[in-house]
């Protein structure tokens, strides 16, 4: 096997057995339409020997996919837990036959009612400081805010394939995947095939969320089962799917006579769907975003995970930090409204120079974050527009003035928490060979540009001027599991790990006999807090709802970001732009032809920690957008994503009430 | 039915259903899973190809319409000099499409550059077929304009040498 | 070739007489124009519903013709929307140009044909409504007594009671004629995406001659993609009876009459479609009011 690069995509040129498509089985999946149902009848047409149906009972091993200690059935057996769950796979000589035969399959289901399975969910995570005041003497002004995000669960209309074939004692899987080891584990569990003999060939992929984390492993297990049963290469073709959990954050705050918050409680409820993957980590990430940046005498935060018969949400690009950060930013703007000032001026009034040190995020200097905020406020004329919109809204009332501007600012984090890093133990190994080359054994393979930068950074530290002497080993049975490529950890926290390993290897290479290897953690296990902050940003967002179509459009985004190290400015800018655009679109915004993103990116050169650009940009966009939509659409249209239908409904209700 | 056509320079005789969409032909029969999507009517815009030099959505071209036609997918277009012009334009503007829509957007950019379209509205209308939200409109306009300049310069150089 | 799925035979007549021979031989054939609508339906392929015989109209030379004189423009059914735009942008009625431009990318307009946009099954595009407002006529070819006949019909005559375009059995539209009417008020707007969100989309086409403060020969058609075209001479007559500027009271009466008609034709249009229809109506009236109040008659 060898690898090559093309258009920024790493390609593993799999030793794909040269089988003809005519000698292959093509599989498609039957997905559930609703959750919380029982399969009362599954009627299959007469199928000859060229067809194969695989249900939950046909897997030779366990019908489960395990993920950080929690599991989910690969295929629904008697009960359907969530819409889009796989009910069966049908393999045929070609996709046309499979499609036509699938339409002959009769599936009858009945609602389960209240009998839904109890999910094993973690306890509510709580964190806080100070003694809380109950405001019994009415000394403080009490107010509540409510932030909601509706679940997003949809197909991305992009086909991908997972192929399995046998070659002697080896089972080959070809799939786009964000975690090769999960595929090997799942296939081993489902088929009993020894993990050592399962070889994964990674197909190029672009993941906007985490589409290639769980689905490819599920499909691989099913395709491998079909291959074992038929002795033929088997392929499954399906669309990508992603799901963001439903989130609600309720805050209760006591304000002093200057409208400054003094005591605050924040209760976040997250519905992760039918199965919760990594809920404890979700709680930690969310708590980090939930802690406000301003000083408080007392704070109580809680993150509660619930379940419902809805598609399972897992990472979705942020694992809760972005959503929680957006909720905090939304909350600050509501407090500013109460104080009768603009959100920017209000922030300047309540935020101190340094943030409080907590178990989740260090007490960093707020200076850089404030500079970002000032920059977007100036560029967007935020204060003027915010005030004008507020006055106009009061003047025109219903359906008269549909413009809004919102702002958000915050700090970036990246990767998994310190607690999870200690529990998991993902590794990589760097070796200085006798030929004075450096080899790296890792399952983490990412884009060409990142790999190129990694090679340069490593070579600079050990073999200056010879990046070609840094080699990433091909995937094989001995590849070390570096963990999933999610939360931008491979381009952010892993970079730091590689740097540190290179520094240490540079020292020990002169003291020990070659080849000398260094096995290192692929996580940030040494941080004092759960997360290390890095990178700051602010975003302002201008929206307008079209009176005729009721479609909300975003006209301008102003963003200012500061990162400690910028490895590749063009990639960074593109990544920011893409994340902003994607967040706007997935939250129901129309992007008109005149839409512009005005970005100001700077480097502060303070330290070497690199943050996840996506988590930060996503959270800030979501926060700024929520604030802008709140101003434009009023009290009824408060949850994102929002559709024209919902805005129409909201205005109808508002009109009705008035 | 038997369909004779040329796909990426190879003359092929394919045995196909006459109404099979070209996008599925390219995925199933020529193995082009990377650059051609089939979204089943969701209008994703990620299946563009050149048919006799004209950019088309391959999901809307039935098999019988490619008889005797020359189909160029991004797989072969990426090696062409025209693509080099587009890559230069990406570099010059400092923006490029994400890997998901790279093929489709590049082929539409090619059609706009080839026709010399500079009107912003026309450019954005043409590109609006690609639903991927990775590029902002201003960059798209600049890429086309820059691409036209680069192409013109190359053509002038070529005619000088000739 | 695939198990259980027969490959349709493709007939490619080169002229209308060849077409007549084929349709006589295979009377249940499906007609294939640009294919944009057929191919963009979910699950359009593979499908057992697809007819075993397909007549591809793209090679019929007569259907690609375009001619115009000082009174009208005439398009063969296979003239693409892009060709219409490039050849007649300066002379064709604004409502039609606006309608074509609304489609957006030329990747669609280069393939979609004028005939194909009228004759879609179980779905109505925005074009029949616009053509009705423009008083357009269509030449319908049909088989009678084993011979191919043709007849020019107003597009309104092709509408059935439920607002759908219906052609005679084995019939096809071969030409569309659009008169260069001297109507100084032309308006077309499509709200929402007909292809991606048909349940909530609506289009309106309006044409009239505004003379002083009255409308002469006004025509208005609302289109709801999953329902059909909502057109009535009664509504046109109400517009004829209006004197501009129209004030709120009259507008409310007009609105309620129009909604009564729409709801009697289509029972279940969505709340968003209703809101959009209402705002579209207000926009038309506002535009007419503005024109009456601000532009002197001689400049109009």
The reported pLDDT for the residue numbered A529 is: 85
Complex confidence, ipTM: 0.90
Confidence at A482, pLDDT banded by 50, 70, 90: confident
Question: Are C215 and C173 found together in one domain?
Answer: no
Give yes or no for B4 touching A (CB within 8 A). no
In this structure, the answer to whether residues C222 and C195 fall within a common structural domain is yes
The pLDDT assigned to C295 comes to 65
Please give the residue that has the higher pLDDT: either A253 or A209. A253
Question: What is the CATH number for C81?
Answer: 3.30.465.10
* Domain identity same for C250 and C156: no
Number of domains in chain C: 3
| B78 reaches A (C-beta below 8 A) | yes
Of C46, C189, C275, the CB nearest to A100: C46
Q: Among A206-220, A468-482, A514-528, where is mean pLDDT lowest?
A: A514-528
d(CA A174, CA A187): 12
**pLDDT confidence of residue A514:** 80
Buried b (16+ CB within 10 A) or exposed e, C149-186: eeeeeebbebbeeebbbebeebbbbbbbbbeebebebb
Instruction: Assign C266 to helix, strand or coil.
Output: coil
For residue A523, what pLDDT is reported? 64
Q: Is the pLDDT of residue A630 over 80?
A: yes
Cis status, amide bond into C245, omega within 30 of 0: yes
C205: in domain: yes
Top residue of A92, A549, A553, A590 to mutate, by most chain C CBs within 10 Å, is: A549
Give percent above pLDDT 70 in chain A: 90
Chain A residues within an 8 Å CB radius of C285? none
pLDDT in tens, B108-127: 999 999 999 999 989 999 99
Structure-token pair, residue B122 = 């026309």
Counting Cα atoms < 13 Å in the Cβ hemisphere of B121 gives 3
Whether residues C39 and C74 fall in one domain:
no
Each of the 300 residues of chain C gets a pLDDT tens digit; together they read 565 567 899 999 999 999 999 999 998 898 999 888 888 888 788 887 776 889 999 999 999 999 988 889 999 999 999 999 988 788 899 999 999 999 888 999 999 999 999 998 889 999 999 999 999 999 999 998 889 999 999 999 999 988 999 998 888 999 999 998 778 899 999 999 998 899 999 999 999 999 888 999 999 999 999 999 999 999 999 999 999 899 888 899 999 999 999 998 888 899 999 999 999 999 999 999 998 887 665 665
The predicted pLDDT at position A103 comes to 92
Could C10 and B1 be called an inter-chain contact, meaning their C-beta atoms sit closer than 8 Å? yes
Same domain membership, residue C276 and residue C245: yes
Same structural domain for residues C49 and C135? no
- Same domain for C149 and C234, yes or no, is no
Best probe of the B interface among C78, C106, C225, by most B CBs < 10 A, is: C106
Q: Answer whether residue C300 is part of any domain.
A: no
Q: State the CATH number of the domain containing residue C234.
A: 3.30.390.50
* Residue A399 predicted with pLDDT over 60: no
Confidence bin at A335 (pLDDT 50/70/90) = very high
Per-residue pLDDT of A421-458, as tens digits, reads 888 778 888 999 988 899 989 887 666 667 787 888 88
Across the interface, do B19 and C8 touch by the CB < 8 Å criterion?
yes
Q: Is the pLDDT of residue A530 over 50?
A: yes
Q: What is the pLDDT of residues A371-392, one digit of tens each?
A: 999 999 999 999 999 999 988 8
Sign of torsion, CA C70 C72 C73 C76?
negative
Query: Is residue C92 within 8 Å of C207, Cβ to Cβ?
Result: no
Q: What are phi and psi of A536, to 5 degrees?
A: -135, 160
Rounded to whole angstroms, the Cα distance separating C23 from C55 reads 8
Which of A97, A99, A644 is nearest residue C272 as measured by Cβ atoms?
A644
In chain C, the residue whose alpha carbon lies closest to the alpha carbon of B29 is C1
Pick from C46, C191, C279: which is nearest to A96 by CB?
Answer: C46
Q: What is the dihedral of CA A334, A336, A339, A340, to 10 degrees?
A: -100
pLDDT number for residue C268:
86
What's the CA gap between C287 and C185, in Å, rounded? 9
pLDDT class of A9 with cuts at 50, 70, 90: very low
Look at residue C241 and give its three-state secondary structure.
helix
Tens digit of each residue's pLDDT (9 = 90 or more) over A104-122: 999 999 988 765 566 778 9
- Asked if B45's CB is within 8 angstroms of C104's CB, the reply is no
Show the domain range for C118: 62-179
CB within 8 Å: A645 and C3 = no
Are residues C204 and C130 part of one domain? Answer: no
For C7, name the nearest residue in chain A, comparing CA atoms only: A96
Q: What does each C-alpha distance from C175 to A404, C11, C140, C165 come to in angstroms?
A: 49, 20, 7, 15
Predicted local distance difference test score (pLDDT) of residue C83 = 94
* Closest residue to A550, CB basis, from C5, C275, C280: C275
Of A8, A94, A581, the CB nearest to B136: A581
Q: Closest Cα of chain C to B128: distance in Å?
A: 6
CB–CB contact C39 B45 (8 Å): no
How far apart are the C-alpha atoms of A414 and A135, rounded to whole Å?
A: 38
**Best CA proximity match to A580, nearest among A563, A556, A602:** A556
Q: pLDDT tens digit string along B4-47?
A: 999 999 999 988 899 999 999 999 888 877 788 998 888 899 99
Residues C21 and C32 in one domain: yes
User: Mean per-residue pLDDT for B51-67?
Assistant: 94
C288 located within any domain: yes
Q: What is the pLDDT of residue C3?
A: 55
Q: At a CB cut-off of 8 Å and minimum separation 6, what does A94 contact?
A: A26, B28, C2, C3
Q: Are C93 and C135 in contact (CB under 8 A)?
A: no
Q: Which residues of B, range 79-138, sit inside 8 Å of C by Cβ?
A: 108, 125-129
- Residues 104-143 in C contacting A (C-alpha not used; CB under 8 Å): none
More confident residue, A22 or A267: A267
Q: Which residues, numbered 585 to 604 in chain A, qualify as contacts with chain B under a Cβ-Cβ cut-off of 8 Å?
A: 585, 591, 593-597
Q: How many CA atoms lie within 13 A of A550 on its CB side?
A: 26
Cα(C173)–Cα(A116) distance, rounded to whole angstroms? 56
* C276 touching A (Cβ < 8 Å): yes
Pick the last residue of a domain from C179, C207, C238: C179
* CA distance to A118, A576, C182, per residue, from C192 (Å): 42, 29, 30
Q: What is the pLDDT of residue A434?
A: 87
Q: What is the pLDDT of residue B160?
A: 74
Res A636 pLDDT > 70: no
Is residue A418 pLDDT above 90, yes or no? no
Q: How far is C19 from chain B (nearest CA, A)?
A: 18
Q: How many CB atoms lie within 10 A of CB C139?
A: 18
Q: What is the pLDDT of residue A656?
A: 66
Which pLDDT belongs to residue A1?
37
Which of C179, C201, C223 is the last residue in one of the domains?
C179
- Structure tokens belonging to residue A331: 């909350």
- In the DSSP assignment, the letter for residue A311 is P
Interface test with B, best of C45, C104, C201 (most B CBs within 10 A): C45
- Number of helices (H), then strands (E), in chain B: 6, 5
Between CA C8 and CA C53 the distance in angstroms is 5
Query: Which pLDDT does position A564 carry in this prediction?
Result: 83
Q: Which residues contact A286 (CB under 8 A, 6 or more apart)?
A: A268, A270, A303, A319, A320, A321, A323, A324
Report pTM. 0.90
Contact B67, C56 (CB under 8 A): no
Q: How far is CA C98 from CA A51, A380, A548, in A?
A: 51, 34, 17
- Nearest chain A Cα to B21, which residue? A96
Q: How deeply is A396 buried, as exposed, middle or buried, from its count of CB atoms within 10 A (0-12, 13-18, 19+)?
A: exposed
Please indicate, yes or no, if residue C289 is contained in any of the structural domains: yes
Which pLDDT score is estimated for A443? 83
Task: Mutate one of B43, B60, B69, B104 to test the C interface: name it (highest C CB count within 10 A).
Answer: B60
Contact by Cβ (8 Å): C190, C201: yes
Q: Do B65 and C35 touch (CB under 8 A)?
A: yes
Does B135 sit within 8 Å of A577, measured CB to CB?
yes
Q: Which two structure tokens, joined as six digits, stand for C20?
A: 């007549």
Is B120 within 8 Å of A596 when comparing Cβ atoms? no
Give contacts of B121 with chain A, Cβ < 8 Å. Answer: 593
Residue found under tokens 């009945």: A110
Residue A536 β-bridge partners: A411, A562
Do C113 and C200 sit in the same domain of this protein? Answer: no
Nearest CA in chain C to B2: C1
Q: How high is the mean pLDDT of chain A? A: 87
Q: What is the DSSP letter of A365?
A: B
Report yes or no: C166 at the A interface, CB cutoff 8 Å.
no
C116 neighbors C77 (Cβ within 8 angstroms): yes
State which residue of chain A sits closest to B95, comparing Cα positions: A574
**Does some domain include residue C4?**
no
- Tell me how far apart the 2 most distant CA atoms of chain C are, in Å: 71
**Peptide bond before residue B137 is cis, with ω within 30 degrees of 0:** no
User: CB–CB of A158 and B27 under 8 A?
Assistant: no
What gap in Å lies between CA A164 and CA A91, rounded to an integer? 13
Name which of B20, B27, B33, B107 to mutate to probe chain A: the one with the most chain A Cβ atoms within 10 A of its Cβ.
Answer: B33
Task: Report pLDDT for B33.
Answer: 79
Are the Cβ atoms of B39 and A157 closer than 8 angstroms?
Answer: yes
- For the stretch B66-87, pLDDT in tens is 999 999 999 999 999 999 999 9
The answer to whether the CB atoms of A97 and C2 lie below 8 A apart is: yes
The per-residue b/e assignment along A155-175, b for 16 or more CB within 10 angstroms, e otherwise, is bbbbbbbbbbbbeeeebbbbb
C28 and C55 share a domain? yes
Taking CA–CA distances from B141, the nearest residue in chain A reads A593
Q: Does B99 touch chain A (CB under 8 A)?
A: yes
- Cβ atoms A82, A273 nearer than 8 A: yes
The pair of three-digit structure tokens given for residue B8, joined into one six-digit string = 């990426």
Domains of chain A: 2-116+164-239 (3.90.1170.50), 246-351+358-416+530-657 (3.30.365.10), 426-521 (3.30.365.10)
Chain C: nearest CA to B112, how far in angstroms? 11
Query: How far is C223 from C203, CA to CA, in rounded Å?
Result: 5
Look at C106 and B126 and tell me if their CB atoms are within 8 Å.
yes
Find the residue in A nearest to B99 (Cα).
Answer: A206
Owner of token pair 């967002």: A541
Instruction: Supply A35's token pair.
Output: 């959750």
Which one of C59, C80, C97 terminates a domain?
C59
pLDDT-based confidence at residue B137 (cuts at 50, 70, 90)? confident
> What secondary structure, in 3-state letters, does A319-341 show?
CCHHHHHHHHHHHHHHHHHHHCC
- What is the enclosing helix (H) or strand (E) of A370? helix A367-380
Q: Does any domain span residue C1?
A: no
Structure tokens at C23: 């349709």
Q: Model confidence at A6, in pLDDT bands (50, 70, 90)? A: very low
Q: Assess if residue C100 is contained within a domain.
A: yes
Q: Hey, are the CB atoms on B60 and C39 less than 8 Å from each other?
A: yes
Inter-chain touch C104–B128, beta carbons under 8 Å: yes
- Report residue A539's pLDDT band, with 50, 70 and 90 as the boundaries: very high
Same domain, C17 and C49: yes
């Amino acid at each position: 096997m060898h690898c090559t690069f093309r258009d920024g995509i790493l390609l593993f040129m799999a030793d794909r057995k040269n089988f003809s498509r005519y000698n292959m089985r093509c599989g498609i999946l039957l997905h559930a339409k609703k959750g919380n149902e029982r399969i009362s009848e599954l009627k299959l047409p007469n199928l000859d020997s060229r067809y194969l149906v695989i249900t939950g009972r046909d897997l030779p091993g366990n019908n489960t996919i395990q993920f950080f200690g929690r599991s989910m059935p690969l295929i629904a057996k008697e009960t359907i837990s969530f819409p889009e769950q796989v009910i069966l796979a049908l393999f045929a000589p070609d996709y046309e036959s499979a499609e036509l035969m699938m339409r002959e399959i009769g599936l009858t289901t009945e609602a389960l009612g209240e009998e839904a399975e109890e999910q094993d969910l973690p306890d509510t995570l709580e964190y806080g400081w100070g003694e809380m005041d109950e405001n019994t003497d009415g000394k403080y002004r009490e107010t509540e805010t409510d932030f909601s995000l509706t679940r997003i669960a949809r197909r991305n209309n992009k086909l991908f394939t997972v192929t399995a074939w046998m070659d002697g004692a080896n089972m080959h899987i070809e799939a786009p995947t964000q975690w090769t080891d999960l595929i090997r584990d799942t296939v081993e569990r489902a088929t009993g095939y020894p993990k050592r003999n399962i070889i994964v060939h990674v197909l190029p992929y672009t993941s906007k969320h985490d589409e290639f984390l769980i689905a490819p492993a599920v499909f691989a297990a099913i395709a491998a089962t079909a291959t074992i049963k038929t002795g033929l290469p088997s392929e499954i073709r399906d669309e990508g799917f992603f799901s963001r959990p439903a989130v609600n954050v309720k805050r209760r705050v006591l304000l002093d006579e200057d409208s400054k918050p003094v005591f605050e409680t924040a209760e976040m409820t997250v519905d992760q769907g039918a199965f919760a993957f990594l809920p404890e980590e979700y709680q930690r990430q969310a708590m980090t975003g939930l802690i406000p940046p301003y000083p408080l005498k007392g704070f109580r935060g809680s993150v509660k995970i619930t379940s419902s018969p809805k598609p399972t949400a897992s990472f979705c690009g942020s694992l809760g930090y972005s959503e929680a950060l957006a909720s905090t930013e939304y909350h600050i703007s509501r407090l500013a409204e109460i104080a009768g000032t603009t959100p920017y001026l209000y922030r300047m009034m309540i935020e101190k120079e340094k943030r409080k040190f907590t178990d989740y995020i260090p007490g960093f200097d707020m200076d850089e974050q404030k500079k970002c905020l000032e920059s977007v406020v100036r560029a967007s004329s935020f204060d003027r527009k915010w005030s004008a919109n507020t006055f106009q809204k009061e003047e025109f009332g219903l359906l008269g003035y549909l413009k809004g501007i919102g702002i958000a600012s915050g700090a970036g984090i990246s990767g998994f928490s310190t607690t999870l890093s200690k529990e998991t133990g993902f590794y990589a190994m760097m070796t200085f060979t006798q030929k004075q080359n450096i080899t790296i054994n890792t399952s983490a393979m990412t884009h060409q540009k990142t790999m190129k930068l990694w090679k340069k950074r490593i070579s600079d530290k050990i073999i200056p001027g010879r990046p070609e002497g840094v080699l990433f080993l091909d995937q094989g049975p001995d590849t070390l599991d570096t963990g999933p490529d999610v939360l931008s950890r491979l381009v952010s926290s892993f970079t730091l790990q590689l740097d540190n390993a290179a520094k240490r290897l540079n020292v020990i290479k002169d003291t020990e006999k070659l080849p000398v290897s260094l096995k290192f953690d692929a996580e940030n296990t040494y941080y004092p807090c759960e997360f290390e902050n890095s990178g700051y940003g602010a975003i302002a967002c201008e929206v307008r709802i079209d009176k005729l179509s009721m479609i909300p459009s975003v006209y301008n985004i102003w963003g200012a970001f500061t990162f400690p190290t910028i490895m590749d400015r063009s990639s960074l800018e593109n990544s920011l732009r893409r994340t902003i655009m994607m967040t706007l679109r997935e939250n129901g915004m129309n992007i008109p032809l005149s839409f512009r993103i005005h970005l100001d990116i700077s480097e502060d050169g303070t330290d070497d920690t690199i943050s996840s650009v996506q988590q930060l940009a996503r959270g800030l966009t979501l926060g700024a957008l929520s604030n802008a939509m709140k101003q434009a659409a009023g009290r009824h249209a408060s949850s994102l994503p929002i559709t024209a239908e919902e805005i129409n409904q909201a205005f109808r209700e508002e009109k009705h009430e008035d | 039915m038997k369909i004779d056509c040329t796909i990426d320079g190879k003359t092929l005789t394919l045995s196909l259903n006459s109404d099979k969409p070209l996008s599925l032909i390219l995925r199933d029969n020529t193995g082009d899973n990377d650059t051609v999507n089939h979204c089943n009517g969701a209008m994703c815009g990620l299946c563009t190809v050149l048919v006799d030099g004209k950019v088309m959505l391959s999901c809307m071209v039935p098999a019988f319409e490619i008889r005797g036609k020359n189909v160029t997918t991004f797989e072969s277009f990426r090696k062409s000099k025209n693509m080099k012009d587009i890559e230069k334009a990406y570099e010059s503007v400092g923006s490029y499409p994400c890997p998901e829509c790279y093929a489709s957007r590049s082929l539409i950019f090619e059609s706009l550059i080839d026709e010399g379209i500079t009107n912003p509205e026309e450019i954005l209308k043409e590109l609006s077929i690609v639903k991927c939200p990775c590029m902002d409109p201003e960059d798209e306009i600049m890429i086309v304009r820059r691409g036209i300049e680069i192409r013109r310069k190359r053509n002038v150089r070529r005619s000088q040498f000739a | 070739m695939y198990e259980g799925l027969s490959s349709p035979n493709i007939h490619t007549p080169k002229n209308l007489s060849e077409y007549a021979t084929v349709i006589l031989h295979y009377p249940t054939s499906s007609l294939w124009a640009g294919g944009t609508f057929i191919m963009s339906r979910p699950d359009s392929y593979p499908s057992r519903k697809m007819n075993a015989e397909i007549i591809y109209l793209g090679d019929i030379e007569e259907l690609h013709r375009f001619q115009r004189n000082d009174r009208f423009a005439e398009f063969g059914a296979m003239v693409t929307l892009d060709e219409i735009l490039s050849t007649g942008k300066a002379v064709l009625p604004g409502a039609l140009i606006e309608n074509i431009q609304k489609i957006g990318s030329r990747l669609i307009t280069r393939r979609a044909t004028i005939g194909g946009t009228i004759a879609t099954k179980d779905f109505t595009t925005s074009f029949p409504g616009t053509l009705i407002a423009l008083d357009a006529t269509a030449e319908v070819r049909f088989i009678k007594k084993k011979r191919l006949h043709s007849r020019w019909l107003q597009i309104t005559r092709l509408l059935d009671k439920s607002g759908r375009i219906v052609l005679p059995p084995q019939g096809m539209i071969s030409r569309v004629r659009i008169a260069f009417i001297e109507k100084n008020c032309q308006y077309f707007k499509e709200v929402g995406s007909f292809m991606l969100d048909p349940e909530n989309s609506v289009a309106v086409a309006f044409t009239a001659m505004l003379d002083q403060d009255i409308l002469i020969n006004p025509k208005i058609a609302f289109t709801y993609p999953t329902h059909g075209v909502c057109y009535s001479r009664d509504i046109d007559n109400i517009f004829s009876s209006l004197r501009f500027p129209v004030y709120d009271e009259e507008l409310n009466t007009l609105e309620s009459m129009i909604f009564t008609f729409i709801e009697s034709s289509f029972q279940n249009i969505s709340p968003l479609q209703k809101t959009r229809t209402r705002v579209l109506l207000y926009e038309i009236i506002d535009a007419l009011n503005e024109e009456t109040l601000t532009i002197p008659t001689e400049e109009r």
